[in-house]
Amino acid sequence: MTRSVIVIGAGMVGVSCALALQKRGLKVTLIDRREPGRETSYGNAGVISRSSIMPLNNPGLWKNLPKYLGNRHAAVRYRLGHLLANPGWILGFLNEARPEKLAPRVAALESLIGPSLPLHKRLMTEAGIAWRLRDTGFLELWRSEGGRAAAEARRTFLEDHGVRVEALDRQALSALEPSLNPIFSAALHHKDSASVDWPGAVVEAYAALFAARGGTVLRDEVTALGKQGEGWRVTAKGGQHDADLAVVALGPWSAELLRPLGLKVPLNVERGYHRHYKPAQGRFLNRPIYDVEASYMLAPMELGLRLTSGVELAHRDAPNDYAQIEQVLPRAREAFPLTEPAEDTTWRGSRPTLPDSLPMIGEAPRNPGLWLAFGNQHIGFSTGPVTGEILAALVCGEPAPADPAPFAPGRYLS
């Protein structure tokens, strides 16, 4: 008999899980309180990064901590009350930054990121949106003379892990991106990465593909999840939905739904903001740039240039604080001629992060038929499809495209 499954959350991760389960013959329902791809998966920088194999909490974090403690840095800001309210997460996050913890996490991230771009390319072709993908990589840029050594160390690290990066001198950088102002002393071109021109539209197209293949997409707010006979019952404001299996893919909202089941997930968020600006007449970018020392990304999008900010450690629902995005705007203007805003709103989103910066992919302990797929931190747009493939392979007892052990829910849940 065909097994039924309800996937809760239609961000990049949930939609990808739905597609991967559907491909394996399950009867899949996807439920979200909004249209697919309207939350975290909407506002990111759209980079499908082959290079993001170094977790943010790496040994270098210890060196940078004094810089961040002053709470004025554009890369990381925090609200003290939030950290004090979540000591377990922050201590776990810092603990994972110890040198001996690094190698297995880099290997795990590599195993996720390796298949990500090929999977996206296939899905984009199937969804008829291959034109949204720019196969032009992205640029990582340093301003100071000291940046040269940092760039060199980064290049060596990535090449040791089989990632193609090219160091560019000023001339080569200006040939690649003629509209950039000549303020950078070192540049790396991440050639194995790509980007899209509107991340929300990509999720939307993947969800449309799922629906066109016979999947059910429901718009409703889920309020509870519980066992029902041999299967699972999802209670939403508009009614109840029963299925043999349930997948929680609620990104930064995942922990709340699981808590009543006795599953206490140490999930926190790294918030970030974006704004769109128009370029000066005739100026353009061919690919996203990451200005390392100024701590922002600038990504060409359908609506203009999307300026994204660093990490804000605050409660997911705390009021906005525009300090970081305001701080990076003049720095971005030093690099590229941004003119007026292309829209009057500032978007905020929450990267869902577990202390080890690895997602949780697998069946919940003590809860057969309940599957978890969340915690994709800074790389969930890239790694949504591979997360879906791993999860669906595990559900169906097939070999997964990556070793699922590092992502097992049992590392935090018992």
Ligand X SMILES: Cc1cc2nc3c(=O)[nH]c(=O)nc-3n(C[C@H](O)[C@H](O)[C@H](O)COP(=O)(O)OP(=O)(O)OC[C@H]3O[C@@H](n4cnc5c(N)ncnc54)[C@H](O)[C@@H]3O)c2cc1C
Out of 376, 406, 409, 412, name the contact with ligand X by CB under 6 A.
Answer: 376
Q: At what angle do helices 380-395 and 102-113 cross, to 10 degrees?
A: 90
Contact (Cβ atoms closer than 8 angstroms) between residue 266 and residue 89: yes
Quote the least distance from Cβ 236 to ligand X, whole Å.
7
Q: Which is nearer to ligand X, 279 or 359 (CB)?
A: 359
Size of the residue set binding ligand X (CB under 6 A): 40
Q: Does 147 bind ligand X (CB under 6 A)?
A: no
Question: Which of 147, 352, 362, 404 forms a contact with ligand X (CB under 6 A)?
Answer: 352
Q: Does 192 bind ligand X (CB under 6 A)?
A: no
Residue with tokens 């760039």: 151
300 is an interface residue for ligand X by CB under 6 A: no
Among 7, 28, 46, 287, binds ligand X (CB under 6 A): 46
Residue 55 contacts ligand X per CB under 6 A: no
Question: Counting contacts by CB under 6 A, is residue 12 touching ligand X?
Answer: yes
Contact with ligand X (CB under 6 A) among 4, 22, 29, 44: 44
Task: Name the segment binding ligand X (CB under 6 A); options: 85-93, 331-339, 378-386, 406-414.
Answer: 378-386
List residues bridging with 234 in a β-sheet. Answer: 225, 241
Applying CB under 6 A, which part among 105-113, 141-149, 207-215, 349-357 lies near ligand X? 349-357
- Residue of 132, 276, 287, 378 interacting with ligand X (CB under 6 A): 378
Binding string, residues 204-223; x marks residues near ligand X by CB under 6 A: -----------------xx-
Q: Is 41 in the site for ligand X (CB under 6 A)?
A: yes
- Check binding of 317 to ligand X (CB under 6 A): no
3-state secondary structure the chain: CCCEEEEECCCHHHHHHHHHHHHCCCEEEEEECCCCCCCHHHHCCCEECCCCCCCCCCCHHHHHHHHHHCCCCCCEEECHHHHHHCHHHHHHHHHCCCHHHHHHHHHHHHHHHCCHHHHHHHHHHHHCCHHHEECCCEEEEECCCCHHHHHHHHHHHHHHCCCCEEEECHHHHHHHCCCCCCCCCEEEEECCCEEECCHHHHHHHHHHHHHHCCCEEEECCEEEEEEECCEEEEEECCEEEEECEEEECCHHHHHHHHHHHCCCCCCEEEEEEEEEEEECCCCCCCCCEEECCCCEEEEEECCEEEEECCEEECCCCCCCCCHHHHHHHHHHHHHCCEEEECCCCCEEEEEEECCCCCCEEEECCCCCCEEEEECCHHHHHHHHHHHHHHHHHHHCCCCCCCCCHHHCHHHCCC
Q: Does 10 bind ligand X (CB under 6 A)?
A: yes
Site stretch for ligand X (CB under 6 A), options 59-67, 117-125, 250-258, 388-396? 250-258
* Residue 406 binds ligand X (CB under 6 A): no
> With binding defined as CB under 6 A, does residue 401 bind ligand X?
no
Of the candidate residues 198, 253, 290, 336, the single one contacting ligand X (CB under 6 A): 253
Under the binding rule (CB under 6 A), the answer on residue 77 touching ligand X is: no
Selected from 20, 28, 188, 250, the binder of ligand X by CB under 6 A is 250
Q: Is 11 in the site for ligand X (CB under 6 A)?
A: yes
Which residue, 49 or 295, has its beta carbon nearer to ligand X? 49
Residues that bind ligand X (CB under 6 A): 9-14, 31-34, 38-41, 44-47, 49, 221-222, 249-253, 272, 274, 308, 349, 351-352, 374, 376-382
